[in-house]
Amino acid sequence: MNFRRDRIDYICRVQMKCWDIGGQAQYRTEWSRYCKGCDVVLFVVDAAAPQKLATAKKELHKLLDDGSIGSTPLLVLANKIDIQPHVGESELIEKLQLNYVMETPWMVLPISALHLTNLDQVVEWLTAQGKS
Ligand SMILES: Nc1nc2c(ncn2[C@@H]2O[C@H](COP(=O)(O)OP(=O)(O)OP(=O)(O)O)[C@@H](O)[C@H]2O)c(=O)[nH]1
């Protein structure tokens, strides 16, 4: 299924409603509509596929430039860090040109969804946004 709507009820009693929007080209026109109604945006990139980062940068900046994200907190997840080699945090910031992003508060977290690496930090970040 390409559009999933999950309700996640965490032990810390923060309830989140999440939409997982497909990354393939045919779904990208939907990103802006979904971003507009959200409290946070998670942008997941494949850190082990540096050749895809130019497209990721272009698509992310499209959302940033057209106001879809605005001041909504943005968490960029550098996924698949269990694969070697993979792009490090500073290289990812440079490749996605995040240093030019001023209006949107952003953060980068390296993760492995497969091995659950740093997912506790993702949940921590999400719950912190809910409180602020
Ligand atoms: N090694 C490794 N593989 C992963 C990791 N996360 C996902 N994968 C694999 O990457 C492939 C794509 O994963 P999906 O979850 O379908 O990717 P997706 O983000 O839903 O893809 P989109 O439809 O483009 O949004 C699958 O074969 C996963 O097992 C990870 O952290 N490490």
Give me the CATH topology for the region 36-131. Answer: Rossmann fold (3.40.50)
What ipTM was reported for this prediction? 0.94
**For residue 2, pLDDT beyond 80:** no
- Determine how many CB atoms are found less than 10 A away from the CB of residue 24: 8
Helix (H) or strand (E) run with residue 5 in it: strand 3-9
118 lines ligand 1 (CB under 6 A): no
Q: Is 99 annotated as a binding residue?
A: no
91 compared with 129, residue with greater pLDDT: 91
84 compared with 130, residue with greater pLDDT: 84
- Side-chain-side CA neighbours of 105 within 13 Å: the count stands at 8
**For residue 5, pLDDT beyond 60:** no
Q: Is 79 annotated as a binding residue?
A: yes
> What is the token pair recorded at 125?
């970040």
Q: Where are the domains of the chain?
A: 36-131
Q: Is 118 annotated as a binding residue?
A: no
Take atom 15 of ligand 1 and give the residue whose Cα is closest.
113
Helix (H) or strand (E) run with residue 92 in it: helix 89-95
Distance 132 CA to ligand 1 centre (A): 30
Tokens 């506790």 locate to 120
